[in-house]
Structure 1
Amino acid sequence: MTDLITILGPTASGKTPLAAALAQRIGGEILSADSRQVYRRMDIGTGKDLSDYGDVPYHLIDICEPGTKYNLFQYQQDFFDAYEDIRSRGVQPILCGGTGLYIEAVLKGYHLSPVPQNQPLRNSLEGHSLEELTTILKELKAKSGSVMHNTTDVDSCQRAIRAIEIETYNLEHPMPLRELPPIPSTIIGVNIDRELRREKITRRLKARLDEGMVDEVRALLDSGIPAEDLIYYGLEYKFLTEYVIGQLSYDEMFRQLEIAIHQFAKRQMTWFRGMERRGFTIHWIDATLPTEKKVEQILDLVNSSH
């Protein structure tokens, strides 16, 4: 058993059925790395395709309520708990998804702390100039001994206020961060030709609309989730909500959503290429190969890395 096998790729590359076929073959369990599949009742729009898993156990899907804002810190904690549980049973964990930030955070063991919003502090900082906020932040960082990460901490008043909020919280609540170690992993990337990817995205969007994606969004709105909370989740939920509440026509919704998904897939690929520049080795395999052949290639890579 290797520590972890990671299968990543852009949307519509077929990574989930591949991860499921691999898990089936080696008796593994899947950890999802998808920032939107964590939400219950958001099934068609997030492309859960749970039937792809067959009887393979999966984790980190349907773990919180729609309308809430799940974040990277929570994901890291949840991932690590599930990962430890799978390993303790002597089973092979397989991480699969397209949210590059989530994947990178757990493989690298990012150190994050949960900092709630501090409204009184925010109110007191309202109206300060960026220069003044930067000075306050530098003083706080000097007290806490933390370093100015880089100028992105203070490239806008909003970000500077958030950085001050974090530093203030850390000074008032010095807590030992839960150290999450980096996890060694054989990383497989599913490489799909751009034209084929575009074609599959369009085909899949039409299929999901036929499957009742509009009704899914209506049901979420009817259950009392405010439209702006659904719009916050982006992509399908943004454009379908705007269609349902009458801000877009059906054709506008389809056209704009299709473009947005193409752009999203491009951003995913940019992130994965960035991971390679940041020192990760990604073994790319051809999306068009038969599943059995792809599984064989992955097993060869895993075995040769031991």
Structure 2
Amino acid sequence: METPGGGSRCLITILGPTASGKTALAARLAARLDAEIISADSRQVYRGMTIGTGKDLDDYVVDGKKIPYHLIDICEPGTKYNLFEYQRDFLNVYEDIQRRGVQAILCGGTGLYIEAVLKGYRLSPVPPNPSLRAELEGKSLEELTAMLKDLKAKTGTKMHNTTDVDSCQRAVRAIEIETYNLHTPTEERFCPPVKSLIIGVDIDREARRAKISHRLRERLEQGMAEEIRGLLDRGIPAEDLVYYGLEYKYVTEYVVGKTSREEMYRGLEIAIHQFAKRQMTWFRGMERRGLHIHWIDAALPMEKKVETIIKLYRNG
């Protein structure tokens, strides 16, 4: 086993926008270091949602070697996994990996999840608020977004930006959480920040757009619509799939007949491009909030990227 440093094993974090190649890079690095990968993706936690969330599980096999991964396929579709649960699950997995003396690599594109565990956000589980939900029912996404913006100004939170709040259901849940936090002091619980070398995969805007469009066509050909039909056939309500946003929002609306295939494709392609741009905005915000990210050009050869990360690690 190749150890990148002489002391205790500091976490390595690899982040980047969708289609930047971060998972393949994390897997190749893990193969070199006999490491395990912890996913930081808010939708890959759901079983049966594989094509639409881009799990790309083949990436976790490098030269015939299976790379252990965590926090993928851990809950049922239709449920509402949240940041509190992710932070709890991450800590459980990370502490176990540390106890076994294995290198851990955190990899994903959900900036809020990454920032929460690296900075040690103090969070509490937020129960449903039926009366508030009834009050918000029927409001447009624009109205809900305005309400959320006002609440965030009062709580001073950095959570719930437009990266993840792209449907009425998600906006209502965000308002529910911010309302709870406004009136309920967060429980003091020990949740230490995690020291990490943070690597950002920097992909050229035009290259990113080309890869996003290519991947979207590929996933539709692989059966993304059929995957969603299968979830609907299992009894998962369409509105619960729409809640997950992006592919599940647009393709579900197409499958149930609300939009044409052409409208679905055009709208989804634009939405994913916008999502990738917002991811980069979040990562730049992380830097302003004190997290140092070492950016690596996505166009570099894979081995060059791996060697660069190992060198950064060894240099502390």
Look up the SS of the partner of 1:269 in the other structure: helix
Partner of 1:149 in structure 2? 155
Is the contact made by 1:40 and 1:64 (CA closer than 8 Å) also made in structure 2? yes
TM superposition shift of 1:3: 1.8
| Gap change, CA 1:274 and 1:246, over 3 Å in 2 | same
Partner of 1:112 in structure 2? 123
Partner Cα distance (1:36, 1:95) in 2: 15
Look up the SS of the partner of 2:155 in the other structure: coil
Partner Cα distance (2:306, 2:100) in 1: 23
Matched, 1:101 2:112: yes
Matched, 1:289 2:300: yes
| Gap change, CA 1:30 and 1:158, over 3 Å in 2 | closer
Partner Cα distance (1:293, 1:243) in 2: 42
Q: 2:58 aligns with which of 18, 40, 51?
A: 51
TM-score (norm 1): 0.84
Q: 1:35 aligns with which of 27, 39, 42?
A: 42
Percent identical residues: 67
Is the contact made by 2:123 and 2:187 (CA closer than 8 Å) also made in structure 1? no
Look up the SS of the partner of 2:271 in the other structure: helix
Equivalent residue runs for 1:37-186 within 5 Å: 37-54=44-61, 55-119=66-130, 149-150=155-156, 165-166=180-181, 177-186=188-197
TM-score (norm 2): 0.82
Equivalent residue runs for 1:17-36 within 5 Å: 17-36=24-43
Partner of 1:9 in structure 2? 16
TM superposition shift of 1:179: 1.3
Partner of 1:142 in structure 2? none
Partner of 1:266 in structure 2? 277
Could you tell me which runs of 5 or more consecutive residues in structure 1 were left unpaired when the two chains were aligned.
125-147
1:176-204 alpha-carbon deviations (Å, 9 max, x no partner): 64311000100000000000000000001
Is the contact made by 2:41 and 2:109 (CA closer than 8 Å) also made in structure 1? yes
Deviating above 6 A after TM superposition, structure 1's stretches of 4 or more consecutive aligned residues are 120-124, 157-161
Look up the SS of the partner of 2:46 in the other structure: coil
Partner of 2:139 in structure 1? none
Pair member with larger Rg: 1
Look up the SS of the partner of 1:251 in the other structure: helix
Is the contact made by 1:115 and 1:169 (CA closer than 8 Å) also made in structure 2? no
Could you tell me which runs of 5 or more consecutive residues in structure 2 were left unpaired when the two chains were aligned.
1-7, 136-153, 160-171
Matched, 1:235 2:246: yes
Q: 1:187 aligns with which of 198, 211, 223?
A: 198
TM superposition shift of 1:161: 7.2
TM superposition shift of 1:167: 6.4
Aligned length: 278
| Gap change, CA 1:164 and 1:281, over 3 Å in 2 | closer
CA RMSD for the aligned pairs?
A: 2.7
Is the contact made by 2:128 and 2:176 (CA closer than 8 Å) also made in structure 1? no
